[in-house]
C-alpha cells in the first residue's frame, strides 16, 4: 500500500454520505463556468430541473467564486471538479464545496482528502487504478474518461471482480448513451456537460437549461 494512503486508511471514504448526494439524480452536471454572474441562476435552473448535485470544474479563474455563489442556492449540493492536488482540495473546501472530483488519483491526493474529511470522487480508468484507490479506502470512483477508457462494456466487466466498487462515469457521456451506463449494476450516476450548454449560459436561457435538466432526470433506469 502507498505510504500516504497507509497514513490515512483509518479514515475511509464516507461512502454513504457521498452516495446520498450522487443518488439524488441520475446525472451530475459537469460545469465550466467563466462568469460568476451565471452561478446562481445556473444552479437554480439545474436544481429546479431536478439535478441538485453539481460539479463546478476548477478550470477557470473564477471557479472558487462560482462554488461560493452556488453553495448559497437552496437545494444545491456543490462539488469541485478537476481537483489535482492538496492545495486545490483545501481551496475547494474553503470555498464551500461539499465534495470533490478528480480526473485521476495520486496517493497524496487520496490521503489528503481523507485527512481533511472532504468526500472525494477519485478518477480511475483501469482496474489497477481502481484497486489502488480501493487500497486507500475508497469505494466510489469516477470512471474517466469513460468513452475512451472502454465505455459501458469495460465498466460492466469490472462489476464482478470489483463488485464492492461503485462508479460515476464521466467523459464522453451524453443523453444518447447515458442509459447504457446507468443500466449497469456498478453505476450510481453519470457526469455530463450537455445539460448546461455554453451558449445557453451566455444568452441567459435558464429555462432551456432547466428543461434539459428535467429531461436528464428521465434517464433514470
| Residues taking part in catalysis | 55, 142
Whole-number Å distance between alpha carbons of 12 and 4: 13
142, containing H or E segment: strand 140-143
Cell numbers of 105, please?
Answer: 488519483
Whole-number Å distance between alpha carbons of 137 and 57: 24
The CA distances from residue 5 to 44, 83, 91, in Å, are: 38, 18, 21
Helix, strand, or coil (residue 102): coil
Cell numbers of 111, please?
Answer: 490521503
Whole-number Å distance between alpha carbons of 97 and 117: 12
Partners of 31 in the β-ladder: 56
Parallel, antiparallel, or unpaired: how do β-strands 27-31 and 166-169 relate?
unpaired
Residue with cell 462554488: 67
Cell numbers of 84, please?
Answer: 489535482
Cell numbers of 88, please?
Answer: 486545490
**∠ Cα 217 219 221 (to 5°):** 115
Amino acid at each position: 500500500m502507498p505510504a500516504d494512503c497507509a497514513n490515512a486508511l483509518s479514515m475511509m471514504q464516507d461512502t454513504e454520505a457521498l452516495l446520498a448526494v450522487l443518488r439524488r439524480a441520475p446525472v451530475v452536471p459537469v460545469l465550466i463556468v467563466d462568469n460568476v454572474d451565471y452561478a446562481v441562476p445556473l444552479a437554480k435552473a439545474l436544481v429546479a430541473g431536478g439535478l441538485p448535485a453539481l460539479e463546478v470544474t476548477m478550470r477557470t479563474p473564477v471557479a472558487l467564486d462560482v462554488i461560493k455563489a452556488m453553495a448559497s442556492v437552496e437545494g444545491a449540493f456543490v462539488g469541485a471538479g478537476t481537483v489535482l492536488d492538496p492545495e486545490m482540495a483545501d481551496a475547494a473546501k474553503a470555498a464551500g464545496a461539499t465534495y470533490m472530483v478528480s480526473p485521476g488519483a495520486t496517493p497524496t491526493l487520496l490521503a489528503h482528502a481523507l485527512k481533511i474529511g472532504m468526500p472525494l470522487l477519485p478518477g480511475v480508468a483501469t482496474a489497477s487504478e481502481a484497486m489502488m484507490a480501493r487500497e486507500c479506502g475508497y469505494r466510489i470512483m469516477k470512471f474517466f474518461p469513460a468513452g475512451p477508457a472502454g465505455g459501458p462494456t469495460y465498466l460492466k466487466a469490472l462489476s464482478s471482480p470489483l463488485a464492492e466498487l461503485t462508479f460515476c462515469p464521466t467523459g464522453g457521456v451524453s443523453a444518447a448513451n447515458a442509459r447504457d451506463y446507468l443500466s449497469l449494476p456498478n453505476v450510481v450516476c453519470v457526469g455530463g456537460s450537455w445539460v448546461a450548454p455554453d451558449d445557453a449560459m451566455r444568452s441567459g436561457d435558464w429555462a432551456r437549461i432547466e428543461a434539459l435538466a428535467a429531461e436528464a432526470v428521465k434517464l433514470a433506469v
